[in-house]
Chains A and B, each alone.
Chain A
Amino acid sequence: AQKITQTQPGMFVQEKEAVTLDCTYDTSDPSYGLFWYKQPSSGEMIFLIYQGSYDQQNATEGRYSLNFQKARKSANLVISASQLGDSAMYFCAMREKWVTGGGNKLTFGTGTQLKVEL
C-alpha cells in the first residue's frame, strides 16, 4: 500500500499567487515526521520544511508553510507569493520508525511538478 500520495502530477500557478501542493500519508505509528523537498531541473534535492506528528503548530519557513491536518492525514505544502524560481518538482516524504540504529528512513511520494507563469 502506498504510504505517501501526491495526487497532482502537475500544477500551474501565476507569479505572486499562492499555491498548495497536496500530500496525504498513511501510517499507524503515532510518532512520525513529514518532510518536503524541492528538486529544480538541475537535479539537486533541497530540503524545505519539516513537521513532526507531535508538533502543536504548523511548520513555517519563510514563504513555505505546512498545512498539517492530522485527523485527515494530510500535510499540504503552501507556497506564498510564487516566484519563477519556484518552478520545480516537489516531493513529500514521511519518516518512519526505524528501530535499527535509530534514524530517519524516508518514504517519498511521486512528486508534483510546479510551473510558475508570468
Chain B
Amino acid sequence: DVKVTQSSRYLVKRTGEKVFLECVQDMDHENMFWYRQDPGLGLRLIYFSYDVKMKEKGDIPEGYSVSREKKERFSLILESASTNQTSMYLCASSFRQSNQPQHFGDGTRLSIL
C-alpha cells in the first residue's frame, strides 16, 4: 500500500514562528503536493514538486515556501506564521502519468495563536 506520512497530526504554533511541516512517501513517486483545506473552499494547492529540488507555485503560495532535497520528502515552510494560516494541511504524492491518482497523507491540523 502507498504510504504518505505527515510528521504531525496536530500542531499549535505562535504568530511569527517559523513552522515546518514534513511529508514522506514510500512509493518512489515523482510528484509531491501541498494543499490547505478550509471549510467551504475545498482543497487549494500551495506548492508542488515534480522532481528533487524542483518546485512550482500553486494557487496560493504567498507566505509559504517548500523544500525537496530527497525524492521521498517534501517540506512545507511557513516563514512567519500568521493566524490566517490556521488550517488543515494535506500532503499528496503521485506518479507522473496524468491518469495516476494522488495519494494523500492524514493531514496536519495547524493552529496559529
Contact = CB atoms under 8 A, between A and B. Distances in A.
B92 interface: yes
A95 interface: yes
B22 interface: no
If over half of A's interface residues share one DSSP class (helix, strand or loop), that class is named, otherwise mixed; here it is: loop
B25 interface: no
A33 B99 CA distance: 7
Contacts of A37: 104
Contacts of A95: 98-99
Interface stretch (A14-22, A66-74, A76-84, A108-116): A108-116
Interface of A: 31, 33, 35, 37, 42-45, 47, 50, 52, 91, 93, 95, 98, 100-111
Interface of B: 30-31, 33, 35, 40-45, 48, 50-51, 54, 56, 58, 88, 90, 92, 94, 96-107
Given A43-B88, A108-B42, A110-B40, 9 more contacts: A35-B102, A43-B107, A44-B104, A47-B102, A98-B98, A101-B50, A101-B96, A103-B94, A104-B102
